[in-house]
Amino acid sequence: MSRRAPVSKSLEVPESRPSSSVSVAACCWTPTETNFDYVVKFGDSHISCCNVTGMNEMTTVLREQLSQRQWAQADLARVLNWPVQTMSEIMQGKRRIDAAMALDLAALTDRSASDWLAIQNAVDLEDARRRFADRGQRISARAALEDIVPVRELIRRGVISRSDPDTQAAEVAELIADDRTLGASAKRSMAEMPFSRAQTAWIALARRKAKVLPLAQFDDPGFSGFARALPQLANEPKDFASLPKRFAELGVALVHIEPFPGGRIDGVSLAIGDNPMIALSGRGKRFDKVMFTLLHECAHVVEGHWRDAPRLHEDGREFIVGDRLVENQVSALAAEWCFPGGLSKQRPVTRQHIAALAAKFGVAEALVIGNLQHNQIIEWSSALSRGLPSVEEELKLWA
């Protein structure tokens, strides 16, 4: 068969030891359909004819040894104390050498065992590149997607499929297509940090759920009055069940999305078209915690933050939604709705005192306890907080 022009191709061979310079000078395609060759350089020496699918450079050097010593292949096998079958497979390029074989070859030739293993590793690596050409691309695609959203959690929830990365990427793109998380006002831990991938996915799921709800035209004054009265209207967990309907009648979408592991987000308020939306994660589950989060997000809506685009602080840096100053301001407004003028800080705090404060402001005792704990009037571990009601089941009933 006539020879074809060689085509250069690089092959990296790891350096085997400081005293041995191991590099690859060139790689050429051979005239056969099954072989492609490399030229491997050891210092000033070169070994050619290294192919992956057929004979490799070990074969070439061993043939040189046979020629120089005028040995037969069986003679070489006997000297190395290898089975004849093993020698035959190596000579045909069908078997790789291991560390023990490299030591044997080093004893026979002027090349070190590390050199032989370096050549074998380079051949193996190139062979893997050929056979798994798309493997690295798929890993990169999966990594890029994982940097955006927590894929495993979305698969668990049935939001995206377990299929190939391309399909998953399309599903995630559709999920967050109109996501404007920087325009969201969120009550969450580490309020001045940018949204994490778990928070981004959580907000996208909340937006998708809210977009399909039937909503009236947003009644700004009506909702403002309703929000201010909410602490008195919802005094116990069962009152949570009807809240989504009452919010929808005022033009506000109210949804619950199970929190993501590590999401550290309690609630969010943002725009869906011309209507505001509020989503709660239910993190904490306690009536007072979830109720205050709801009031906090209602305060964002009343203040018009749900319409906001990213803004600038006075110092010129980009406004990150959830800025501590803004969050503190809306929390203060929500607390004022619960306890106009604030709660007294008298100590010791007794159950009778808590009951009296709840009756005075017309709110649940749990809300009083939660506020006193937040303001460090009573300890978080106080017996007064034992048995406080949960709204977990009520949140599951929301659309």
Domains of the chain, by residue range, sit at: 22-131, 135-170, 179-396
Give the residue from 285, 267, 317, 252 showing the smallest Cα distance to 395: 285
Question: What confidence score (pLDDT) does residue 94 get?
Answer: 86
Residue 377 structure tokens: 């009037």
Strand ranges inside the chain, DSSP E = 22-29, 36-42, 45-47, 185-188, 253-256, 265-272, 275-280
User: β-strand 275-280 against 253-256: which pairing, if any?
Assistant: parallel
Instruction: Give the C-alpha separation, 358 to 393, whole Å.
Output: 24
Confidence bin at 255 (pLDDT 50/70/90): very high
Nearest to 322 by CA among 187, 168, 227: 187
pLDDT reading at 312 higher than 50: no
What pLDDT digit, counting tens, does each position of 62-114 carry? 888 899 999 999 999 999 999 999 999 988 878 999 999 999 999 988 889 99
Residue 18: which pLDDT band, with cuts at 50, 70 and 90? very low
Q: How far apart are CA 90 and CA 94, in angstroms?
A: 6
Give the lowest-confidence range in 11-15, 142-146, 210-214: 11-15
Is the distance from CB of 183 to CB of 319 less than 8 angstroms?
no
Cα angle 286-289-290, degrees, rounded to a multiple of 5: 85
Measured CA distances, 59 to 65, 66, 105, 148, 227 (Å)? 10, 10, 12, 49, 83
> Residues near 285 by Cβ (< 8 Å), separated by ≥ 6?
390, 391, 392
End-to-end CA, the chain: 74
Q: Which residue has the higher pLDDT, 309 or 371?
A: 371
Is the pLDDT confidence value at 177 over 90? no
Q: Looking at residues 266-290, what average pLDDT do you find? A: 92
Distant-in-sequence contacts of 31-39, Cβ < 8 A, 24+ apart = 31/1, 31/2, 31/3, 31/4, 32/1, 36/9, 37/6, 38/9, 38/11, 38/122, 38/126
| Per-range mean pLDDT, top range of 133-137, 179-183, 248-252 | 248-252
Structure confidence by residue, pLDDT tens digits, 106-139: 998 888 999 989 888 887 888 888 888 888 888 9
Contact 270, 307 (CB under 8 A): no
Q: What is the mean pLDDT of residues 7-15?
A: 39
Q: How many CB atoms lie within 10 A of CB 283?
A: 19
Say yes or no to pLDDT of 363 above 50. Answer: yes
Q: For residues 207 and 277, what is the distance between their CA atoms, to the nearest angstrom?
A: 8
Greater confidence, 136 or 316? Answer: 136
- For residue 246, pLDDT beyond 60: yes
C-alpha to C-alpha distance for 271 and 229, rounded to whole angstroms: 23
Distance CA(396)–CA(327), nearest Å, equals 27
| Statement: residue 10 has pLDDT above 60 | no
The mean pLDDT value for 199-204 works out to: 91
CATH classification for the domain delimited by 22-131, as one of 1.10.1040.10, 1.10.260.40, 1.10.287.1080, 3.40.50.2300: 1.10.260.40
**Amino acid, res. 65:** Q
Predicted confidence (pLDDT) at residue 2 exceeds the cutoff of 70: no
CA distance 277 to 306: 8
At residue 3, the pLDDT reads: 39
